[in-house]
Structure 1
Amino acid sequence: MLLKTFGWSFAITVVGLVVAVLIGGWTAFGIVAILSVLEISLSFDNAVVNAGVLKKMNAFWQKIFLTIGVLIAVFGMRLIFPVVIVAVTAKLSPVDAVNLAFTDKSRYQQLVTDAHPAIAAFGGMFLLMIFLDFIFEDRDIQWLRWIERPLARLGKVDMLAVCISLIVLLISSMTFAAHAHQHGGVHVDKGQTVLISGVAGLITYMIVGGLSGHFEAQLEEEEEREAEAEEEAERSGGRKNAVKLAGQAAFFMFLYLEVLDASFSFDGVIGAFAITNDIVWMALGLGIGALYVRSLTVYLVRQGTLDDYVYLEHGAHYAIGALAVILLVTIRFEINEVITGLAGVLLIGWSFWSSVRRNRAIEAAEGKGEASGDKAEVSSGV
């Protein structure tokens, strides 16, 4: 199972590292390897959230996510996206931006770094909305109940998540953006840029997330309508088929996953410039890492890990909230990528351990119940 799921990732890793050695020697090998680890550590929570969405899709759309989705993630976000950012912010043609990436790497790095406030505001607001919508929802299973119970009650207020996000954006535009960090250690006022980019991120979430949520709600209604038919099929010995997202519903969920992946990749792309400004090495390293994230997503779906460890999704969303805050803070202050990666890993690790403890407690309770039942049977038999 492990080899089947991660086989392509292992193969591409070998090919990528060999290409790195051929192009730039062992120095390139080390840089590509470090970037791969960086991408995996920063995007582990992305895999957990992706798995929660992907398991609702049918087999066809899962394959689309693993083929076209990988191409978008590897080539689109890790190679083309930085070039597009440079072209837009520096008002260059795409051809000139590509030429700059290969001929004047220092200038290219400077332009991408200077575009960071806009990137961080867009990604930060998109991720913040994901976290707030999750935390304000009333759920049957709660992890940190002392936080989640009162927030679920507050979540009954219409548009609360949007209001909080706009307040956070306004504060960020007047504080962090007023002294935004730029290439060379200088600080400039990027308030308007951050405000516009943040609103764009919020609108993107409301459109893509709203459409995917709409079709997901339709799926739930369809499941309810088919519940009686499935029960009848069970009674008659027929086969029960799970309802999976398809058609328009799956398309918008796929689009949602790609925008989500883009938001997660922002910090990885920007952070990669702290290691190298070579666009080829960067694409190789981040691309390999992105493949492992995709494989991990599939592994979580096929193993039913989210069903077995019910708090993992909670931990991933808390990690998303932490990443959203970190992105907004990095508009002004530099934060080491190790801190960003550790924040997500620790939260997910904590939620995993909480899930393990919960499962053990349930097993112990069931064991005691069975033992009590056995004693009762012996007593009545005597």
Structure 2
Amino acid sequence: MRHFLFDFIFTIVCLVVAAWWGFSHGGVSGLMTALAITAILAIMEISLSFDNAVVNASILKGWNDFWKKIFLTVGILVAVFGMRLVFPIVIVAVTAKLGFMEVIQLAINEPAQYAAHLNAHHAEISAFGGMFLLLVFLTFIFGDKEVHWFDWFERKLTRFSKVDAMSTFVAIVVLMISLSWVEEAKEPAILIAGIWGILVYLGVNVLSSLLEGGTDSDEDEVITDAKGNVITNTAGVSSTILKGGIAGFIYLEVLDASFSFDGVIGAFAITNDVIIIMLGLAIGAMFVRSMTIYLVDKGTLSEFVYLEHGAHYAIGALAIIMLLSMKFHVPELVTGLIGVAFIGLSLYNSIQYRKRQESTQ
């Protein structure tokens, strides 16, 4: 409970603000509507981002206390205010060639027009976030792992673990294929956005390698259970990122940003009120951060060996959904259910795995 105490306090504060905002714009009915939508958005954000929490935990567990505190303080400010409020405003300001304060006024006074500007560039946002998340998935799936979830499939892919550029190659192929289902006029902008997603992922890993001072950045982190048995590893992620520091912090923030794109855009399908959107998504972001710390403190990834696998498969599914959403509408409920399904199945299989291990002792 101590992991989530502040989250409940934060939730109450956000709901009070949402109630005041709703009442000031629509009386009692506006108050009730604001509270309901804020709660829905918070639940949506948590359901869409649980896999994010698992992946964050797989990286954060090796960090020292200082960088964990940075993740929970500065990281929260970046996640809540930076990605859920400031970033969408910046997108509209740049693409619509408007001033920052002008866009803020637009978001508050003419939310429908603000939402229209943001949705007009949904494809580019999805291309950037989709490619970054796809590389997170591909780097994991092509990595050499001690334990395989879908055994035959993952062992086949492990053959490519020695090919350093395999993840990038597949990601670029997927990006080029995805251009075939978008309007020709938008192809250059989407291509550039997708390449930026790839460059940001590679850039964080380059920065990480430079900060390592020449050590082997491909060294895998071996995770063992309570009895010392090797159960899995985090393959393909630089050891600097795994140990924390500025490179790891940037990596987690970009990862969180890529997850938040889908939630921010999807929120406008529920309401155009940017204040309510920020409050609802902020509540969700706070709980996701606390879930990450909870998973680290409890050693959940070591106890449930396939949980990290399930989270990465959910990330891969989200990446493909984001790319498909450049042309097709994919309901947020479907996205959330796919993530929950992968996490749930991996959790169930992990329990079965642990029972088999215990029976052979």
> TM-score when scaled to structure 2?
0.89
Pairing 1:239-318 to 2, within 5 Å after superposition:
250-318=245-313
Give the equivalent residue in structure 2 for 1:229.
none
User: 1:215 and 1:325 mapped to 2: Cα distance?
Assistant: 32
Structure 1 position 99, deviation (Å): 1.3
User: 1:18 and 1:154 mapped to 2: Cα distance?
Assistant: 53
User: 2:113 and 2:92 mapped to 1: Cα distance?
Assistant: 10
User: 2:276 and 2:253 mapped to 1: Cα distance?
Assistant: 23
Give the equivalent residue in structure 2 for 1:352.
347
From 318, 342, 365, the counterpart of 2:360: 365
Pairing 1:79-228 to 2, within 5 Å after superposition:
79-173=85-179, 175-178=180-183, 189-212=185-208, 218=215
Please say if residues 219 and 245 of structure 1, whose CA atoms lie closer than 8 Å, have aligned partners that are also in contact. no
User: 1:210 and 1:150 mapped to 2: Cα distance?
Assistant: 28
Give the equivalent residue in structure 2 for 1:4.
2
Structure 1 position 146, deviation (Å): 1.0
Structure 1 position 101, deviation (Å): 0.6
Q: Structure 1 regions of 5+ residues with no counterpart? A: 180-188, 225-243, 367-382
The one-letter amino acid paired with 1:209 is N
> TM-score when scaled to structure 1?
0.84
Give the equivalent residue in structure 1 for 2:336.
341
User: 2:346 and 2:242 mapped to 1: Cα distance?
Assistant: 34
Deviation track 1:231-281 (CA, whole Å, cap 9, x = no partner) reads xxxxxxxxxxxxx96999511001100000000000000000011111110
The one-letter amino acid paired with 1:40 is I
The one-letter amino acid paired with 1:105 is P
Structure 1 position 96, deviation (Å): 1.3
Pairing 1:14-29 to 2, within 5 Å after superposition:
14-24=12-22, 25-29=31-35
User: 1:342 and 1:297 mapped to 2: Cα distance?
Assistant: 20
- TM-align CA RMSD: 2.2
1:31 equivalenced with 2:37 (yes/no): yes
Structure 1 position 221, deviation (Å): 10
User: 1:136 and 1:344 mapped to 2: Cα distance?
Assistant: 20
Provide the aligned length of Structure 1 versus Structure 2: 335
Give the equivalent residue in structure 2 for 1:78.
84
Structure 1 position 95, deviation (Å): 1.3
Structure 1 position 107, deviation (Å): 0.7
User: 1:34 and 1:350 mapped to 2: Cα distance?
Assistant: 25
Decide which structure has the larger Cα Rg and report it.
1
Task: Provide closer, same or farther for how the CA distance between residues 249 and 21 of structure 1 changes in structure 2, counting only shifts above 3 A.
Answer: closer
Deviation track 1:1-49 (CA, whole Å, cap 9, x = no partner) reads xx21001101111111122112211110000000000000000000000
1:65 equivalenced with 2:71 (yes/no): yes
Give the equivalent residue in structure 1 for 2:26.
none
